[in-house]
Chains A and B, each alone.
Chain A
Amino acid sequence: MDITIRDILAYLTEWRCPLLMLVLASAAVVLALLGIIVVLVFGLVKSYGVPPDKHPHGASAMFVLGSGGHTTELLGIVAQLDFSLYPIRTYVSFSGDTLSTVRALRLEKEKSSSSSSSSSSSAPRKVVTLELPRARNVGQSYFTSIFTSLVCGFEAVFAVFRVRPDIVVCNGPGSCVFICFAALLLRATRIKLTRLVYIESFARVNSLSLTGKILISVVDRFIVQWPSLAAQYKDKGVEYFGILA
């Protein structure tokens, strides 16, 4: 039996042709995905020019505790905040680092006992501690860290979309990048215009950390603690006020 080109064309142009349906369907899916991406990117880009949303009744804050010295520095900054302005506080730490959670809860206890007489104790409050899997353990190979990073990324998106914080404050190391990107996704969907504040560690005197280099162009405020870093990254909008720790 001869099959001519004309036969094939006739078959393909017949609308019930499964192949044509497949092509059309996948084109539609690709277009829809592209559309979603364009909308998300547009939403994200637009979110940078505007001042932060007002939350006169208090905000939800997410503090990302990196472990060790990072946790010390961040909790030192958190301790300066008036907790009555942040009725919802979420502390994120990463697996293998139980001390950070303990220290965050200790700070909570100290703060609540020092302000027990004021009106803030009657305000509704919600303190949550979350533990996410670490993106990469010390000494782990780069290949397997691809998978652990994926798990960390999904968990970060899940956590951020559930909490929907008004602000994320972080200071590294590595794993906080996933929280920031999850917050950017939240922001791109315009569910919440989460603001991002990154504080480069006091340990960084002359050069930014890798985390800092990744986050410098996506966060709203980027703060360094040494004058030489401030001078180097002045045109990137880096801010320097002195030592924060």
Chain B
Amino acid sequence: MSRKVLLTTGATYPFDTLIEVILTQHVLEKLSALAVTDLRIQYGNTPTSRIAYESCVENCTAVLQRTGINVTGFGLTENMASEIQSSWLVISHAGTGTILDTLRSPSPKPRLIVVPNPVLMHGHQAEVAAALEDMNCMLYAKSVTKESIASALDKLDRQFTELPPKHSLADLINYEAGVLLNDTSPQ
């Protein structure tokens, strides 16, 4: 049976260090111990990221052959949701799009480890990650190191909490647009 891990780096900023850290012997052996067979890497839009990804894969060919993990990569995709749904684990930059797509994807839901990009560390990406880890919805690896990612990988067997269902704003927007026929005032 195949078990896929999806690694995302986002669309806007390159996050080559995350790819470098995942493609190390230490992390790859951890993944292999978790019975992972496929690693899909979204390396981003810039040509330099593609080169960085390719050289990382080249550097760990021996480990990949030994562990039997099949690595494939792509720059960007319009169908991230289906990439996520077919994964067993998503390791993601802290982009809210990917976080939400993962936490809201239909069962069986992939597990989620989030690694915020230190370049964007003016706060809020890490805040979401911390808040969602507090809610036990996902794991948060605070630094881009193989140790912090390995320790997150060790915690994957826990029972995660579902994100609370989303509240609909339809009534509020309908009221503001004046299309609610019955006169309900806000609150």
- Taking Cβ atoms with an 8 Å cutoff, the residues of A that contact B are 51-56, 58-59, 61, 68-69, 71-73, 76-77, 80-82, 85-86, 99, 102-103, 138, 166-167, 169, 195, 197, 199, 201-207, 209, 220-221, 223, 226, 239, 241-245
Asked if B12 CB lies within 8 Å of chain A CBs, one says yes
Contact B131 A226 (CB under 8 A): yes
Point out the residue from B78, B95, B170 that lies within 8 Å of A82, measured CB to CB: B170
Asked if B88 CB lies within 8 Å of chain A CBs, one says no
Least Cβ–Cβ distance between B185 and chain A, in angstroms = 7
What B residues does A206 contact at CB under 8 A?
123-124, 127
What B residues does A69 contact at CB under 8 A?
95-97, 100
Most buried by A among B10, B169, B181: B169
Known: A68-B11, A72-B100, A80-B169. A86 touches B124 (CB 8 A): no
Contact A205 B179 (CB under 8 A): no
Known: A86-B179, A242-B164, A245-B166. A203 touches B174 (CB 8 A): no
Contact B100 A202 (CB under 8 A): yes
What A residues does B101 contact at CB under 8 A?
72
- Please encode chain B, from 162 to 180, with 1 for each CB lying within 8 Å of some chain A CB and 0 for all others: 0110111110111111110
Asked if B17 CB lies within 8 Å of chain A CBs, one says no
In the bound complex, how far is the Cα of B96 from the Cα of A16, in angstroms?
69
In the bound complex, how far is the Cα of B186 from the Cα of A77, in angstroms?
18
Contact B186 A56 (CB under 8 A): no
Most buried by A among B101, B125, B130, B166: B166
What B residues does A226 contact at CB under 8 A?
131
Known: A80-B168, A243-B164. A52 touches B176 (CB 8 A): yes
Contact B100 A207 (CB under 8 A): no
Q: Is the interface of A mostly helix, strand, loop or mixed?
A: loop
In the bound complex, how far is the Cα of B76 from the Cα of A169, in angstroms?
27
- Please encode chain B, from 106 to 139, with 1 for each CB lying within 8 Å of some chain A CB and 0 for all others: 0000000000000000011101101100000000
- Please encode chain B, from 78 to 90, with 1 for each CB lying within 8 Å of some chain A CB and 0 for all others: 1000000000000
**Contacting residues of chain B (62-87) with chain A, CB-CB under 8 angstroms:** 76, 78
What B residues does A201 contact at CB under 8 A?
96
Least Cβ–Cβ distance between B137 and chain A, in angstroms = 10
Known: A56-B181, A99-B78, A245-B100. A220 touches B176 (CB 8 A): yes
Point out the residue from B97, B172, B185 that lies within 8 Å of A197, measured CB to CB: B172
Contact B124 A167 (CB under 8 A): no
What B residues does A72 contact at CB under 8 A?
96-97, 100-101
Contact A243 B166 (CB under 8 A): yes
Point out the residue from B123, B124, B178, B185 that lies within 8 Å of A54, measured CB to CB: B178
Contact A73 B100 (CB under 8 A): yes
Most buried by A among B78, B95, B176: B176
In the bound complex, how far is the Cα of B8 from the Cα of A76, in angstroms?
21
Least Cβ–Cβ distance between A239 and chain B, in angstroms = 8
What B residues does A241 contact at CB under 8 A?
167, 169
Least Cβ–Cβ distance between B109 and chain A, in angstroms = 16
**Shortest Cβ distance from B11 into A: residue:** A68
Contact A61 B177 (CB under 8 A): yes
Contact A245 B176 (CB under 8 A): no
Contact B173 A202 (CB under 8 A): no
What B residues does A86 contact at CB under 8 A?
177, 179
Contact A58 B166 (CB under 8 A): no
Contact B96 A203 (CB under 8 A): yes
Contact A203 B166 (CB under 8 A): no
Contact B186 A221 (CB under 8 A): yes
Contact B164 A203 (CB under 8 A): no
> Can you identify 24 A-B contacts, CB atoms within 8 angstroms?
A55-B177, A55-B178, A55-B179, A58-B179, A68-B11, A72-B96, A72-B97, A72-B101, A77-B169, A77-B173, A82-B170, A85-B174, A99-B78, A166-B177, A195-B178, A203-B96, A204-B124, A205-B130, A205-B131, A206-B124, A226-B131, A242-B166, A243-B163, A245-B166
